[in-house]
Amino acid sequence: MQEKQNTSAFILGLFIFLGLAALGYFLGDAAIRFKEYERTVAVKGLSEREMPSDIVIWPIQYAVADNDLGKLYGSLESNAKTIKDYLLQAGIKEAEITVSPPAITDKSAQAYSDGTHADFRYTALQAVTVYSSNVALVRTHMSAISELGKKGIALTGSSQGQTEEYLYSQLNQIKPEMIQEATTKAREVAQKFAGDSNSKLGKIKQASQGQFTIEPRDTNNPHIKKIRVVSTVEYYLSD
């Protein structure tokens, strides 16, 4: 009876030992695989485009001076009409033209003065602004702005090509293609790294899309936009 119990205990102990050994093996193998999955490489992929602007904002600013406030306002209205007529004749639509309120300075009412006598009591600045999607047409007439000077309008420096603004509003149309290109380039870099390190490229661990930036291509061509995005992708590596 005692011998039978000892045999049963021995068999039970053997099964427990084998079970613990197997469990240890599987846990060890799982730990190794887990370590393998922790091997990663993070890479970046760049996508760039050069696109023409599709909106232009062109402020045409002019100055008027007079000692009579009524005449000053009359000159402002006359100049605004002359500029609008010029733009309309150039093919720019009336809906694309706006006239801002004038900024008038009364020099005799200024709290601080250097004591010098001003030739004119009142001075005013006003702008006629073009907001158009016909960028090529507007740019053509920017270079011919001196025609307004010949009509007696005192254009300020900011009206002569220094404050115009160019916009690109079709970003959503090219976003998917650019993101795909940036991700593809990131994978190419990761595959090159994996090949150089005798590893295999696995699945994506995580990815992040960078912010899209839109900037002028250069200072001489602000109407051409450089659009770029950088995607960061982290891949698993295995032997």
Mean pLDDT of 64-93: 94
Mean pLDDT of 165-194: 94
Q: How far apart are CA 191 and CA 207, in angstroms?
A: 16
What is residue 34's predicted lDDT score, i.e. its pLDDT? 46
Give CATH superfamily name and number for 39-53+169-239: Protein of unknown function (DUF541), domain 1 (3.30.110.170)
What is residue 115's predicted lDDT score, i.e. its pLDDT? 56
Which CATH number does 55-167 carry? 3.30.70.2970
Residues 97, 87: contact at Cβ < 8 Å? yes
**Cβ-proximal residues to 111 (8 Å cutoff; 6+ apart), any chain:** none
Residue 60 has pLDDT above 50, yes or no: yes
Mean pLDDT of 75-85: 95
Residue ranges of the domains in the chain? Answer: 1-38, 39-53+169-239, 55-167
Give me 119's structure tokens. Answer: 């030739």
Domains 39-53+169-239 and 55-167 share a fold: no
* pTM as predicted: 0.74
**Cβ-proximal residues to 213 (8 Å cutoff; 6+ apart), any chain:** 227, 228, 229
Residue 139 has pLDDT above 70, yes or no: yes
Mean pLDDT of 60-72: 93
Residue 45 has pLDDT above 90, yes or no: yes
